Structure 1
Amino acid sequence: MGMIARIARYEDKANYQSHYLGLLWQYLNPAIQVGIYFIIFGLGLQRHGIGGVPYILWMLIGIVPWFFMSQCFTGMSRSIFSKIGTISKMKFPVSILPTINMVSNLTSYFAMMVIVLIMLFCYHTPISLYWLQYFYYVLCMFALIFSLGILNSTISVIIRDYHVALQSVNRILFYISGVILNINDKNYPPLLRKIFSLNPFNYVIKGFRETFVYKKWFFDDPIMMIYFWSFVLLVLIIGCHLHMKFRNRFIDFI
């Protein structure tokens, strides 16, 4: 784990070394996007709160885990392909490359979580026992992203078009995961709301909101909990199987 953290930190410095503001962009980029979404959807289209929660707070709680998952979703998928030239020249544990990308995104994630806590206190949201399940949903977030990362990074090496397709999927997921729009709104058809609820990204985002503002335990919906972990386990098994099968032949696909 120490090696993963050191490499992730080096990657961050390398990516921003030619920028005047350097690593500060890890915090500025998500902050700017949050401001844009709030102006468009909060002030422009949806002035009222959702479920008794001010929209800016509702959106911020959901958009922070989304930024992390979204960046990892696309970044981990190209983590092996982007380093294939390097690992072909030296002995390197290829399997840790997706994890390195995930760790490198933690810096901006934790910074944004600090902003969430500040906003919660600004809106006089009391600390409760429900906040303890934050760690459960963080585990869900890591497990989901790790399983998808192993699978997507492997397929992206084998099939070049796969990563491009994932970028389009990522844009679609933004709107159907309940990040800025309330997908549980009764204006949507019941069947559509049910389909949206099967999105594992929505499970995590919804869980963050239930933890901090809606005060609902994760075990209150055991069916969705079982569905989520079954999905993660299935993707992890398929991803690990493909990764172990092709990891010694990655260079052959370049």
Structure 2
Amino acid sequence: MEVIKEQVKNLPMIFRIARYEDKATYQSHYLGLAWQILNPLIQIAIYYFVFGFAMKAKSGSDASYIEWMLAGIIPWFFISAVILQGANSIYNKISMVSKMNFPMSILPNITIVSNLTSYFTMMLILLGLFAINGTPITIYWGQYLYYFVAMIAFLYSVTLFNATISVLVRDYYIMLQSVMRVLFYMSGIVWNLETMLPQWLVDLLKLNPIYYVVNGFRETFLMHKGFWESPSYTMYFWLITIVLLFVGATLHMKFRERFVDYL
């Protein structure tokens, strides 16, 4: 509860610092913040050429492959960036904030907010593609807000946990980078798990909470399926999120007074 209170109390500070970090990161680049959009667009073009054009992957639904891929890869870019950057969010700032009365639990949230600009811009591009292709707007689009909140809640929980562990055990961050590369393929970002794998293996891979979020966005825009239609899976996702938040917050509160000792 203390960690959650710190997020609410310091919300204006989170947005101010996130905006400053965005500008500071790209201030020496000619294209500046445009790289937040150009970089994912280049990656999307490569993945589409490899999987959509060369390997002729299918969406497994009535939607075109490019629509299906974008609906999953855009949240993945956001999730991946937040998890990897957030894992180092406390470690990178600990020497500076340890001498201040600064709520270190907001550092993972700053990472989340700083990546929202590129995420929402990419979502506008996706909506533009839907408009061009004549993708129908349905009542299920309303659950986008639910999946967005679920994504943010999960990301804060896992990032607070990762950021704390990364200070205590530096090898953890190196391992996390490798895990995220594997999760890219195990989360069905560029290929449909259900059309290419046996059902028992698909059920196993669905234990990955990232799959719940990514597939949820696809169900929202393209598959016309509500999250309430899978109540057990939804409860599983929120249970994982709450457990991660509890464990992460407990470890954070226990060790944050001694974080600087681990540098």
Q: With the length of structure 1 as denominator, give the TM-score of the two structures.
A: 0.97
Q: Which amino acid in the other structure matches residue 235 of structure 1?
A: L
Alignment of 1:196 onto 2:205: yes
What's the counterpart of residue 246 of structure 1?
A: 255
143, 162, 178: which is aligned to 1:168? 178
User: How do 1:1-254 and structure 2 match up within 5 A?
Assistant: 1-46=11-56, 48-185=58-195, 187-254=196-263
The C-alpha deviation readout for 1:81-127, integer Å capped at 9, x for no partner, is 01112113333221111100110000000000001101111111111
Question: Structure 2: where are the runs of 5+ without partners?
Answer: 1-10
Q: Which amino acid in the other structure matches residue 19 of structure 2?
A: R
What secondary structure sits across from 1:184 in the alignment?
Answer: helix
Q: How many residues align?
A: 253
Q: Which amino acid in the other structure matches residue 222 of structure 2?
A: V
What secondary structure sits across from 2:44 in the alignment?
Answer: helix
Question: Structure 1: where are the runs of 5+ without partners?
Answer: none
What secondary structure sits across from 2:72 in the alignment?
Answer: helix
Q: Which amino acid in the other structure matches residue 205 of structure 1?
A: V
CA distance in structure 2 between the partners assigned to 1:47 and 1:137 by the alignment:
26
Deviation at 1:47, TM superposition (A): 5.0
Q: Which amino acid in the other structure matches residue 159 of structure 2?
A: G
Deviation at 1:49, TM superposition (A): 4.2
Deviation at 1:3, TM superposition (A): 1.1
List 4+ stretches of structure 1 deviating above 4 A.
none
CA distance in structure 2 between the partners assigned to 1:90 and 1:209 by the alignment:
44
What secondary structure sits across from 2:194 in the alignment?
Answer: coil
What's the counterpart of residue 6 of structure 2?
A: none
CA distance in structure 2 between the partners assigned to 1:106 and 1:50 by the alignment:
29
Deviation at 1:53, TM superposition (A): 1.3
Tell me the percent identity.
51
What's the counterpart of residue 8 of structure 2?
A: none
The C-alpha deviation readout for 1:168-223, integer Å capped at 9, x for no partner, is 111011001111011111x4122211111111000001100110010001100101
Q: With the length of structure 2 as denominator, give the TM-score of the two structures.
A: 0.94
Give RMSD over aligned pairs: 1.0
